[in-house]
Amino acid sequence: MVILKIVAFLYSVILHEISHGLMAQSMGDQTAKYAGRLTLNPIKHLDLFGSLLLPLMTLVASLGTFVFGYAKPVPYNPLNLNDQKYGPAKVAIAGPLSNILLAVLFGMVLRFAPGIAGNPVARDFLDFVVQINLLLAVFNLVPIQPLDGHWLLLTFLPERWVEVKYFLVRYGIFIFIFFVLFLSKFLMPLIDFLFRVIVGR
């Protein structure tokens, strides 16, 4: 089951990254395609530490209840996008939306396929898939660099707040570390709420 959960996590992250690349491609940028990143082949996306060691360590440390990690970001060139104003935000939102879609699809199986949901092993696995995709979506929507949400913030923040933009870009990595260490746990009630809404329990 541990191996299955790691595989499910990896492909949730991979689909997240591919979605960024596909959205960029739809707006005229071929960078991800030329880099060979619009593929489900995990070798193209894996980061030794972020995609293998970190997920395994967090899964073992949490006794199989939590996993975290990342894949190599899919490259794209915002200068190639045919929508220069909102293009980066569209590319950014594509990743979390893919995770929300996966969470809903697997959640519907739990909700409307009692034969599968009645199997404890299958239910545990499907619960994990829904939860990890909700975690990836919600976490990445936090408006802190380098998360996807920071592109949304920079796109829609009024120009008169340009100093705020400079501050977030300049100190984003420090804000991110602080958030991960001390504030990320506050996302869990929201993830638990969304899980209950989707699976109906």
- Reply yes or no on whether the pLDDT at 118 is more than 90: no
Does this model's pTM top 0.85? My answer is yes
Over residues 47-70, the mean pLDDT reads: 71
- Reply yes or no on whether the pLDDT at 30 is more than 80: yes
Over residues 171-181, the mean pLDDT reads: 82
pLDDT band (50, 70, 90) for residue 32: very high
pLDDT band (50, 70, 90) for residue 16: very high
Centroid of chain to Cα 19: 10
Sequence-ordered alpha helix ranges (H) in 39-161: 54-61, 87-112, 114-117, 120-140, 149-156
Would you please indicate which residues are annotated as catalytic (active-site) residues?
A: 17
Rg (CA), the chain: 18
Rounded CA separation 186/71 (Å): 24
- pLDDT tens-digit profile of 74-113? 999 999 999 998 999 999 999 999 999 999 999 999 888 8
pLDDT at residue number 47: 78
pLDDT band (50, 70, 90) for residue 67: low
- pLDDT tens-digit profile of 120-169? 888 999 999 999 999 999 999 999 888 899 999 888 888 788 888 888 88
- Reply yes or no on whether the pLDDT at 42 is more than 70: yes
pLDDT band (50, 70, 90) for residue 193: very high
36-44: Cβ within 8 A, 24+ apart: 37/74, 37/75, 38/74, 40/11, 40/14, 40/15, 42/10, 42/11, 42/14
pLDDT at residue number 54: 74
